[in-house]
Amino acid sequence: MPAISASYPGKIILFGEHAVVYQSHAIAIPVSQVKSHVVIQPLLSAAPGTIEIHALDTHTRANLADLPENHPLGYAVRLTLTHLGVQTTPAFILRASSEIPMSAGLGSGASISCSIIRAVSNFLGKPLPPAEVSALAFEVEKLHHGTPSGVDNTVIAFNQPILFKRGEPMLPVTVGVDLNFLIADTGVKASTGDVVTGVRARWQAEQATYDAFFQQVDTITLAARAEIQSGNIAQIGLLMSENHRCLQSIQVSHPALEVLIEAAVSAGAYGAKLSGAGAGGNMIALVNNETRESVEKAIIHAGAKRVIHTTLARAGQPGGR
């Protein structure tokens, strides 16, 4: 039996983070420059049902039976086996790795879950469609984030830009013109679960105020979808900056993010905002071919620890260059 591999991209949220948890829309895109990888190889000399999991990034090297029930990698394997109705598998070793920075708003957890789910189902000869991969990965996301929106697993499993609202079918986002983004890592790590919990506590204390912010973000996100479709780059940038002001208002920014955002806009970016949970992690700036180099230099000078360039290709063109 040959080795089986699976790989999924990272993701970045363009509009709507946090608000999406409160029934607003969000727009997210895959980031194919960074990916997770899973390779499964049969263990011919081991007893049926033996499953070894090796993941260098999380220092995991164990038999599945020895991992706790809430271990994310083991949980993804167990969920897949249960979903497929498989009780005893051929013995195999699962090796997982990822280029996606963790705790940085790039969907590292959802991506590795999708890769595990796809690899295991393919290895067993029962490949799953994107919707089922996404649904299983969402269950693993609950371990990471408590009350996840579902954006990460959806955009990653379907590997396309989407408009997302919890409880509604995801909608593909048509792209009218190539959009170039710089994703800059502050180097400040933050727990998504902690940040989301903090927003919920503040929402409970000031519900009317926060609901107004979330409604404003929803309006911005829907407007952004129309501008992305028409290819109005300048307006997309303005909407990104407007979305960031809302995120400032709900107290999820961070001084390191503000420094990078200011540097990007001052150097010629159309707009910039934090992306993901905030309190650190990444910011994203919209640039063009003429301003990309100057903006990248400016944000590196301002303290960015890593910069990723990603292109959201217009409809009908190859994506993720």
Which of 164, 190, 205 terminates a domain? The answer is 164
* Residue 169 domain flag: no
Buried b / exposed e over 169-201, threshold 16 CB at 10 Å, is ebeebebebbbbbbbbbbebebebeebbebbbe
Per-residue pLDDT tens digits for 110-127: 999 999 999 999 999 999
Buried b / exposed e over 37-74, threshold 16 CB at 10 Å, is bbbbbbeeeeeeebbbbebeeeebebebeebeeebbbb
| 135 and 65 assigned to the same domain | yes
* Residue 318 domain flag: no
Tell me the pLDDT band of 150, cut-offs 50, 70 and 90.
Answer: confident
| 38 and 145 assigned to the same domain | yes
Buried b / exposed e over 93-104, threshold 16 CB at 10 Å, is bbbbbbbbbebb
| 16 and 126 assigned to the same domain | yes
Which of 164, 186, 202 terminates a domain? The answer is 164
Q: Is the pLDDT of residue 204 over 70?
A: yes
Structural domains of the chain, count: 2
Q: Give the DSSP per-residue string, 169-186.
A: --EEPP-SS-EEEEEEE-
Residues of the domain holding 255: 174-312
Q: Is the pLDDT of residue 320 over 60?
A: no
* Residue 107 domain flag: yes
C-alpha span between 154 and 83 (Å, rounded): 18
* Residue 321 domain flag: no
Q: Is the pLDDT of residue 319 over 50?
A: no
| 159 and 194 assigned to the same domain | no
Q: Is the pLDDT of residue 175 over 90?
A: yes
Q: Is the pLDDT of residue 169 over 50?
A: yes
| 97 and 15 assigned to the same domain | yes
| 127 and 266 assigned to the same domain | no
Name the strand (E) or helix (H) holding 260.
Answer: helix 255-266
| 250 and 111 assigned to the same domain | no
What CATH number has the domain bearing residue 59? Answer: 3.30.230.10
* Residue 148 domain flag: yes
| 272 and 159 assigned to the same domain | no
Per-residue pLDDT tens digits for 209-257: 999 999 999 999 999 999 999 999 999 999 999 999 999 999 999 999 9
**pLDDT at position 99, please?**
92
Which of 164, 186, 213 terminates a domain? The answer is 164
| 230 and 288 assigned to the same domain | yes
Per-residue pLDDT tens digits for 15-72: 999 999 899 999 999 998 899 999 999 999 999 999 999 998 888 999 999 999 999 9
Residue 80's CB is within 10 A of a number of other CB atoms, namely 26
* Residue 288 domain flag: yes
pLDDT (average), residues 72-77 = 96
Q: Is the pLDDT of residue 318 over 80?
A: no
* Residue 287 domain flag: yes
| 144 and 182 assigned to the same domain | no
What CATH number has the domain bearing residue 200? Answer: 3.30.70.890
Q: Is the pLDDT of residue 147 over 80?
A: no
* Residue 42 domain flag: yes
Per-residue pLDDT tens digits for 259-299: 999 999 999 999 999 998 899 989 999 999 999 999 999 99
| 69 and 22 assigned to the same domain | yes
Q: Is the pLDDT of residue 321 over 80?
A: no
| 179 and 158 assigned to the same domain | no
Structure tokens at 185: 């890592």
